[in-house]
Amino acid sequence: MSKAADMAKVSAKGGFHLLWGLVLSTVISSVGTIIVANLLIPDDMGLYFIALRAPILIQNFRDWGIGAAMIKYSAQYKSENQVAKVKTIIISGLAFQTILGVLLNLFTFVIAGFLATSAFNRPGIESLIQISSFILIAGALTSTSQAVFVGLEKMAYSSVTMVIQSIIKTILMTALVVVGFGALGAVLGNIISLMIAGLTGLLLIWLIYKNFPHTTTQSMNILGNIKTMLGYGVPLSIGTIVNGFLLQFYNIILAIYATDALIGNYSVALTFVVLITFFATPVTTVLLPAFSKINAEKDKETLRSVFGFSVKYGSLLVVPVAMLVMALARPAVFTLFGDKYEFTPLFLLLLSITYLYTATGTLSVSNLLTSQGETRLMMKLILLTAAIGFPLSYVLISQFGVIGLILTTLTVGLPSLVISRVWIWRHYDLTIDWIFSSKILFSSAIPAILAYLVTTQFNFANWVQLIVGVCVFLPTFLVIVLLTKTIERSDIDNLKNMTESLGPLHKLIVFFMLIVEKLMNIFGL
């Protein structure tokens, strides 16, 4: 348990650094998005959303699993104190990603007219797609930087680059739209900010590299390292490419069967979903390097403990937030936009359901399999999802538009979800604590329903409904969590120990835990 506890502390610290960066950058970006969404008409918001889809589709061909491989091997070699190998992994991955990013940028720029006309049925957005193509170079720099930071558990650096990008993006997008550039201004602000963040990431990588302990000179063997990383990453990449095509197929069908205004409503709903990703992303990010340090065959007990921690405390963070967003979707959206985006609350409610799957281990299982080298299994699961997703999405989107797209994303991955859970049970003797999962879902659903009922029964202003809903949800959730014993005294001790390295924040957490313990005493728990 001591090894698992030590790893939990490291992961908690890394997760915290990611969380503050994610929260701060998202708040800043959301302010910009809210301003831009209010300045643009829904049709222009839809064009902005569509223009970025083409390069994002091509971007799937840039990584080839190198990013995941960089995280795995840099974390593994660092834990083994093989500094020279860590250096070669960084240089090799950076070279591969950058060169391929430049080539794909040129390719996308050339075929922009074809994509605008044939794929999206909007010839007028050719220039927008050409400008958006530079996301491939900028994305190569930022994603490589993030892989290095995560693998070496330098999560604070990751947050720095995110915050820099969000500040520049918000300023540029707002300024360019205000002066009359419309959707073009939104695209330019996005690309320029991402490029600056990528260059900042390169500077931070250089600082990390310079401060590595001195090692004996050895050949970089860049081609050999790339071959090793491709051997690990290509199955993941095939799955990523297929999944990327699937997502873009969704968008293409959506562009055909939905109006620009409805797509604009959908894009605003996606912006609100980041409220949930505040808590989901740090968990998923820290798990791959954490699991990569464990050999499943030699250290089964540590793996079991770390896996259990990740599912339980990941669910405890994400599920209540998802339920809260679902309950207060309407007042949240209408507080910021009035009734301009009238369909966004429904879209947001449905999108949030995906995060309830966290109680089944969705944040942990894929990272576990990837860390143990089961990339071929991950590829097969994604291919299965795609085989179901292509026909299902066409049927649902063509009939129900945006709602059909959301219904597809909620159901298409269920077979793979079941198969992966059975596989880890058979091979690693790991299972989900289904009793806890049921409790956290129940404990979150009741206060969400109560908050929804309270806010809809009274004709308050939207901002008042939002505040009242939160004030109803939080204490109700805490009481039900305690009464159902979703949180027990052992969890209080675990959370205190896991957060010891968080400095002043640890004192705040301990203070909150003391309140929880007093409530336990009152309830006789």
Task: Please give the distance of CA 187 from its chain centroid, rounded to a whole number.
Answer: 21
Question: What is the rounded distance in angstroms from the CA atom of residue 12 to the CA atom of residue 423?
Answer: 27
Residue 448 is predicted with a pLDDT of 94
Are the C-beta atoms of residues 10 and 278 closer than 8 Å to each other? no
Cβ contacts of 412 within 8 Å, gap of 6 or more: 385, 388, 389, 392, 393
Q: With bands split at pLDDT 50, 70 and 90, how would you rate the model's confidence at 450? A: very high
Residue 249 lies in a domain: no
For residue 165, the enclosing domain spans 40-220
Closest listed residue to residue 466, CA positions, set 293, 279, 258, 325: 325
258 is a domain residue = no
Scored b (16 or more CB within 10 A) or e, 397-429 reads: beeebbbbbbbbbeebbeebbeebbebbeeebe
The helix-helix angle for 402-411 and 375-400 (nearest 10°) equals: 150
Give the model's confidence band at 1: pLDDT under 50 very low, under 70 low, under 90 confident, else very high: very low
DSSP 299: -
Locus of tokens 């969400």: 448
In a domain, 370, yes or no: no
Let me know: does 323 contact 244? Beta carbons within 8 Å.
no
Choose among 346, 354, 347, 345: nearest CA to 322.
354
The dihedral over CA atoms of 271, 241, 293, 201, expressed in degrees to the nearest 10, equals -60
Q: Give the pLDDT mean for 217-224.
A: 69
Could you give the angle at the alpha carbon of 494 between the alpha carbons of 157 and 21, nearest 5°? 20
Backbone φ, ψ for residue 487 (5° rounding): -110, 130
Q: Burial-class residue 387 by CB neighbours within 10 Å (0-12, 13-18, 19+).
A: middle
Assigned domain for 27 exists: no
Give residue 33's pLDDT: 75
Q: Which pLDDT band, with edges at 50, 70 and 90, does 236 fall under?
A: confident
In a domain, 95, yes or no: yes
pLDDT surpassing 60 at residue 70: yes
Average pLDDT over residues 282-292: 60
The pLDDT > 70 percentage for the chain reads 87
- The reply to whether 507 falls in a domain is no
Q: Which residue has the tokens 């956290």?
A: 440
Length of the chain: 525
Sequence-ordered list of residues with C-beta below 8 angstroms from that of 411, at least 6 positions apart, any chain: 392
Could you give the C-alpha distances from 343 to 11, 285, 331, 451, in angstroms and in order?
38, 32, 13, 21
More confident residue, 157 or 15: 157
Confidence check: pLDDT of 338 > 80: no
Whole-number pLDDT of residue 109 = 85
Mean local confidence (pLDDT), 148-171:
83
Q: Which residue has the tokens 């990523």?
A: 240
User: Is 141 among the domain residues?
Assistant: yes
Can you give the pLDDT at residue 472? 93
Supply the pLDDT for residue 473. Answer: 93
Joined together, the tokens standing for residue 135 give 């996301």
| pLDDT given for residue 446 in this prediction | 94
Please answer whether residues 46 and 263 qualify as being in contact, where contact means their C-beta atoms are separated by less than 8 angstroms.
yes
Query: Over the stretch 104-132, which tens digit does the pLDDT of each residue have?
Result: 888 888 888 787 787 777 777 788 888 88
More confident residue, 260 or 446: 446
Residue 348 tokens read as 């947001």
> How much is the average pLDDT of 348-377?
84
Q: Is residue 45 part of a domain?
A: yes
What pLDDT is attached to residue 286? Answer: 58
In angstroms, the CA 435 to CA 441 distance is 10
495 band by pLDDT with thresholds 50, 70 and 90: low
Domain total for the chain? 1
How confident is the model over 363-422, as pLDDT tens digits? 778 878 877 778 788 888 888 988 998 899 899 998 888 899 999 989 998 999 899 888
In the chain, the percentage of residues whose pLDDT exceeds 90 is 11
DSSP 153: T
The residue among 290 and 181 whose pLDDT is bigger is 181
**pLDDT tens, residue by residue, 261-286:** 888 888 888 877 877 776 666 665 65
Query: What is the structure's pLDDT at 76?
Result: 77
- Predicted local confidence at residue 497, as pLDDT: 65
Asked if residue 442 has pLDDT above 90, the reply is yes
Whether residue 135 has pLDDT greater than 50: yes
Tell me how crowded residue 390 is: count the other CB atoms within 10 A of its CB: 17
Query: Confidence band (pLDDT; 50, 70, 90) for 292?
Result: low
What is the number of other CB atoms lying within 10 angstroms of the CB of residue 8? 24
Mean pLDDT of the chain: 80
pLDDT reading at 17 higher than 80: no
Higher-confidence position of 42 and 74 = 74
Range from 123-137, 392-406, 419-433, 498-512 that averages highest in pLDDT: 392-406
Single out the residue of 55, 45, 404 nearest to residue 258, CA to CA: 404
Please check whether residue 384 is in contact with residue 419, taking contact to mean a CB–CB distance below 8 angstroms.
Answer: yes
In terms of pTM, does the model score above 0.85? no
